[in-house]
Amino acid sequence: MSDLVHLRGADVDVVVDVSTGLPTIVHWGLPLGDTVDLSAMSSAMNRTPVAGGMGEIAPISVVPMHADGFPGRPGLAGRRGGGRAWAPRFTPVRHDLDGHVLSVESHDPEAGLDLSTIISLDDVLTVTVMVTNVGSRRYSLDALTVTLPLPVEADELLTFDGRWAREMQPVRTSWPHGAVVSENRRGRTSHEHPPLVFAGRHGFGEWQGEVWGAHVAWSGNHTMLAERLADGRRYLQGGELLHPGEIVLEVGEFYRTPSLVAVYSDGGLTPATWGFHRSLRRSPTHPSSARPVLLNTWEAVYFRHDTDALCELADTAAEIGVERFVLDDGWFGSRRDDTSGLGDWWVSSEVYPDGLGPLIDHVTGLGMEFGIWVEPEMVNPDSDLFRAHPDWALTTDGYEPVLGRNQLVLDLANPAAFDHVLAALDALLRDHEISYVKWDMNRDHVQGSGSNGAAGTHDQTLALYALLDELRARHPSVEFESCASGGGRIDHEILQRTERVWTSDCNDALERQTIQRGASMLIPPEMTGAHIGPTRSHTTARVHTLAFRVATAMFCHVGIEWNVTRLDDTERAELAEAVALHKRFRPLLHSGDTVRFDTEPAYCAHGVYAADRSEGIVSFAQLTTAPSLTPPALRLPGLEPDRLYRIEHVRLPRERWGLAGSQPQWLTDGVELTGRQLAAHGIRPPVLHPESAVLFALTATT
């Protein structure tokens, strides 16, 4: 039946009904097979009106409409003068299928609005919608979000919360009925409300159960809703959260939603999240070169910049095997602490009397790349920039601005401010041999009005993207990192413009086990910044062995954030050994499939399998004391069932073992097991102390 369009992914099918006002996804889940008769679907599936209800059942279309009788949150909200056109009703105009991309046009001549929907299915299901004002008066848009229906069995939610230095914390909620809302008004993707939700059958795990996941790929404000309607239907909805009056469409103007990016698997969370990873890996901006091990100066020297000391740090870094040296905050303007200087992107002659040249030459002379920290969206009131252009700060006239870390947001939607920042950064990159930019953003963007007095977060977010796009176009060989006080800006849209995220300001390995596990549900390890920090963590004061810190950072884009000049020769050699170990496994770690395993809460187990399942590496960490002294066997699903795998302990410097008479034999001798055995009975991890980890490698021998 021509009203139903069938999109096929690798392990997922989507069927879209294009006869409804807006297209309606009538199936998103298991593949339906090659010989499916779609025309049978409607008669098999359709809901019939019921006593006490409306005469027609409003579909849960990608933009469900109040005027169709949809009882949940409408996908489109807005109005014209006097409150008119508040409840439009669309009819489909045309649709077009081009490969795996379906475009549908819908129209409401009464309201003077056109909606264009694009639905594509490859590694991920992606939906975007655009509304155009084709009427004769301005239209105020309050919300345009994308909605995906879910089956009733998806009755458990996995969402994430967090805070500074504790990002991506998983939260499981039973979802029998009603609505769960996650809204972010912080003007950046946020630590608190990552725009990511999974729904699945009750008790879904890493390798079991059907799982549906959705992510709003947007770096500003967002809203996500999961609702079970009283009639039993469920849906997920996500999009940009608009402040009052933020989007006003003049005649002929349009607004496009961020992409809602969605994944599905009938085999649990781990396979579902491969879709997110594969989609980022397919992006033209995804880095293809080996991820350079970096040293970041922040926790090594903070604001104590001194060329000689930094050169010494670079010498030691190079000796240890570091490949990129990143100069963090403190090199510019009057920036001797966090009270002043943001906005003045010229090299401080106070700390660098001969400029950055000598340090950069020293670093590159050692064979390392040079990277630099900037925070271009911000300004300190105590800065030359603010004194010259106080009106460039995003504030609201008549009100005292709220400061965060002594700073304000610059109005990048103001072309003069945009051009100024672009010129300053362009000159910085043009005049220095800089290969890498750590792009920071350390203040929530609140109370920010644009130059017209209306809320400015939407325009600011687009201006940020435009600024990054322009800089990347002018400096195509420079890589960028997205940092926002650590992991405050981790999303798939910023990752079209950055090769890495700074996942958290917390380098404590114990905290990082959970933070990185959460992040791995959205982004692949090569984009996930993870640093080996000092023995005593600067953000928690916990003390961890080098082995635990290395095992934790090892899987991601590795860095060191530690004053390594203070290490003695043995410690340097151990760190160099750790860096070499990472480099040995790096090709596998950054190309394979990330796998996570379900364990008791005292443990955290994850790894990477090569795409062809010829090898793998697994980490088993003990986070806290556990109910049993001997850890339960760890099952490793997802390998080739009939291949034989040799399992060998990967030794880490300064490993520490728990209180055991002896440890499992395989730890010293290795062992060979089939993929089927590894999934069925698994392997016994050693007895560990809390806050330690063991790594083991898997190599197929058949």
Binding site for ligand GLA (CB under 6 A): 298, 328-329, 373, 440, 442, 483, 485-486, 502, 505
Are 545 and 306 spatial neighbours (Cβ–Cβ below 8 Å)? no
Q: C-beta of 313: minimal distance to ligand GLA in Å?
A: 16
Active site residue 505: yes
Q: C-beta of 394: minimal distance to ligand GLA in Å?
A: 19
Q: C-beta of 225: minimal distance to ligand GLA in Å?
A: 30
Pick 21 or 487: Cβ nearer ligand GLA: 487
d(CA 2, CA 18): 8
Pick 298 or 465: Cβ nearer ligand GLA: 298
Cα 376 to Cα 298, 340, 426, 537, distances in angstroms:
18, 14, 12, 28
Q: C-beta of 405: minimal distance to ligand GLA in Å?
A: 8
Pick 270 or 485: Cβ nearer ligand GLA: 485
Q: C-beta of 604: minimal distance to ligand GLA in Å?
A: 24
Q: State phi, psi for 243 to the nearest 5 degrees.
A: -70, 160
H-helix or E-strand containing 93? strand 91-98
Alpha carbon of residue 470 to chain centroid: 22
Q: C-beta of 332: minimal distance to ligand GLA in Å?
A: 12
d(CA 530, CA 291): 12
Cα 672 to Cα 645, 682, 701, 702, distances in angstroms:
5, 11, 8, 11
Q: C-beta of 435: minimal distance to ligand GLA in Å?
A: 18
Q: C-beta of 635: minimal distance to ligand GLA in Å?
A: 37
Q: State phi, psi for 410 to the nearest 5 degrees.
A: -85, 140
Alpha carbon of residue 212 to chain centroid: 17
Cα 490 to Cα 14, 189, 294, 318, 494, distances in angstroms:
27, 6, 20, 30, 7
H-helix or E-strand containing 575? helix 569-589
Q: C-beta of 338: minimal distance to ligand GLA in Å?
A: 6
Active site residue 440: yes
Q: C-beta of 375: minimal distance to ligand GLA in Å?
A: 7
Pick 249 or 313: Cβ nearer ligand GLA: 313
Are 555 and 619 spatial neighbours (Cβ–Cβ below 8 Å)? yes
Please count the helices (runs of H) and the strands (runs of E) in the chain.
13, 35
Which tokens hold the place of 659? 């209180």
Which tokens hold the place of 330? 């403190």
Q: State phi, psi for 654 to the nearest 5 degrees.
A: 60, 40
Burial class for 412, CB neighbours closer than 10 Å (0-12, 13-18, 19+) = buried
Q: C-beta of 515: minimal distance to ligand GLA in Å?
A: 13
SS3 category, 650: strand
Which tokens hold the place of 93? 């105009």
Count of CB atoms within 10 A of residue 335's CB? 24
Are 425 and 345 spatial neighbours (Cβ–Cβ below 8 Å)? yes
Instruction: List beta partners, residue 91.
Output: 107
Pick 227 or 505: Cβ nearer ligand GLA: 505
Please name which of 588, 641, 644 lies closest in space to residue 618, comparing C-alpha atoms: 588
**Catalytic annotation, pick one of 328, 344, 440, 593:** 440
**Catalytic annotation, pick one of 68, 505, 508, 593:** 505
Q: Which residues contact 180 (CB under 8 A, 6 or more apart)?
A: 157, 159, 173, 225, 226, 227
Q: State phi, psi for 357 to the nearest 5 degrees.
A: -50, -50
CA geometry: angle 194, 195, 197, nearest 5 deg: 100
Residue with the shortest CB distance to ligand GLA: 329
CA geometry: angle 694, 318, 507, nearest 5 deg: 45
Half-sphere exposure of 265 (CA within 13 A, CB side): 18
Pick 314 or 694: Cβ nearer ligand GLA: 314
Pick 411 or 505: Cβ nearer ligand GLA: 505
Which residues are part of the catalytic machinery? 440, 505
